Structure 1
């Protein structure tokens, strides 16, 4: 039982009568943060083993090991020392990532945005290949704009992750200057979606392109926000997305309920094989294998 996402799953089920591709995508996002966080934990465990091995070989590493993750929620879970209802169900041994982040042994998002006071523009830069944004839907061939999450630096001070609207293609489909895009290639499925990777070479965007519901930058380069704590600021920044995830999560529960109801009705009407010749065939639901599959699920609804 997952009480932390029970309501979200219930809400997403409201759309089970007419599910669309965007509903499935949203459902994946509900569960993605935890999966990414667990993946980061596995990667950090491997890097810790390698660091210890190098230390035993008298070749210690004195700089932080970079562990890259393109899921913003997972990055903030790694840096948040508070054990709240969204993470308390995760096994305690997974949270060692937080300790390593606090100690400075691992780092997060590398894309950096700085503000040019003279031009009143933000400059988005991808400092290295590993900081590229991967698997962005629609970016390989069709998207004209994108929302970029990056670290915002104002006067040399990192203000945390913020979002910016950036144009990546012109109306004729030509990739904009200082934007680099590559197709991720053939996938195991959903090849109709042109997933790609994207990186920026000091791309300039207007100051107005910052999504500023929680924080803003004045024309003279002053950072403005009523929320001082970066984690709380990020939580408030992402709050409008919560309702969407909650509603889409409810779709899956309703779909599961209707699917179960359909399966039970079918098993109560469909007959197959008879015990003896010339006898009436047996209902599917009378088969123990079907009972073991369906009845426990029915009892949980």
Structure 2
């Protein structure tokens, strides 16, 4: 076979595309690993910074000593809770309110609320919550705590409401004798619209009387179990938003956020109203 059937390719006749491919392979082989390591280190540094910043904001929202002290989650023991929840206000001009059909058993969602709040504190403080009943926590004046449930089912919630004087929120009755939250001068109760039942709930934060301790007391309460769980869900998802709104200019303030949530959809809570109270010299009991 004649040599004329072959095209001789010398070192100076390589196509430019082949040269670029060779350079690319060289860069990938020799520089790819170091660049990947640097990128991973940058990602780790960003995660560490974000985590540290979130922990700093968490301490600002809950109090500087939140990492070194126990936080109590106060739930009702649910002893005789049926009798308490059947109480309704009546007078000569109002009929007794009928019990709401389809209401879940009181305390049904306490495990879910406990799990969400415990996960939140483990993530930002490395510590869980101490679970106590409302009677164990009764008459304790200071210290960080979270109350789950309204004052109908949680005595500690009742104490905090009485202590605050109802400045931000009152657990009261509407004109029909149904339970409701009074926020901003209006009473908000459970209502039904277009075949959907809507509960009301509050997220209430009160700074303790010893403001130097930096502790706060939080209430997550609904008119039903759906509302109480929705309040916890809202707090866990939106505490940073609440911090930006109510802790500006280096001052922490008492606040109350009123929520509305459709039954069975705790993730769909929306804000209806809010109230804030700031005492330059501390909150007076």
Report the TM-score, using the length of structure 2 for normalisation. 0.24
Structure 1 length-normalised TM: 0.23
Q: Rg larger in 1 or in 2?
A: 2
